[in-house]
Amino acid sequence: MSASSNAPAPSTPSATTVTASAAGDRRAGTEPGGTFASTAWEETRPEPDEESPRVAHAYTTNTFTGAIDGTGTAHHVMFYGPGEGQWGAGRYHGYEKVTGTVGGRTGSFVLAHDGAFAGTTVRADWTVVPGSATGELAGLRGRGSFVAEQGVGAVVYTFDHTFDERQH
């Protein structure tokens, strides 16, 4: 499930637009939000001859550009089930602490990942854990997703987010 950086980066993501709502939120929307690349992947994998169900734990480091500009460190727990290919099919859940900027604001926040994989494709949704944002990012709320293929260096992600101004 690791990504390499051998492929060219996709085209530049769209710019983020921000508007204020009557409720005091600053809303930003992007499609896509940017790209990320895995710069480290350390996984304790199940042995190939283990019978299902198999569980593994991975520590990853990602570099984000676009709507999120920074570095994330993640802890994932993965379930490997039966199926075709090197890993079969499975699911993963995890948390990723991201430090950097969103919408020109600096701080850190945690993304909760919920994903699935089959063969060499990973599909995941993520949400900002409520109350996890610090610094100028306090009040950040958001969600996004990505589809990654093994061997692709830069993965396109979406990230729709708001800032609750009452917490800033």
Q: pLDDT tens-digit profile of 84-133?
A: 555 678 999 999 999 999 999 999 999 999 999 988 899 999 999 999 99
Q: SS3 breakdown of the chain: % helix, strand, coil, rounded to 5?
A: 5, 60, 35
Q: pLDDT tens-digit profile of 56-97?
A: 899 999 999 999 999 999 999 998 887 655 567 899 999 999
Set out the domains of the chain in order of their start, with CATH numbers: 32-163 (2.40.350.10)
The whole-model pTM stands at: 0.77
Phi first, then psi, for residue 72 (nearest 5°) are: -120, 145
Mean pLDDT for the stretch of residues 11-18:
32
CA distance 82 to 50: 11
Distances (CA, A) of 104 to 18, 67, 69, 85, 137: 11, 9, 9, 42, 9
DSSP 8-state code for residue 136: G
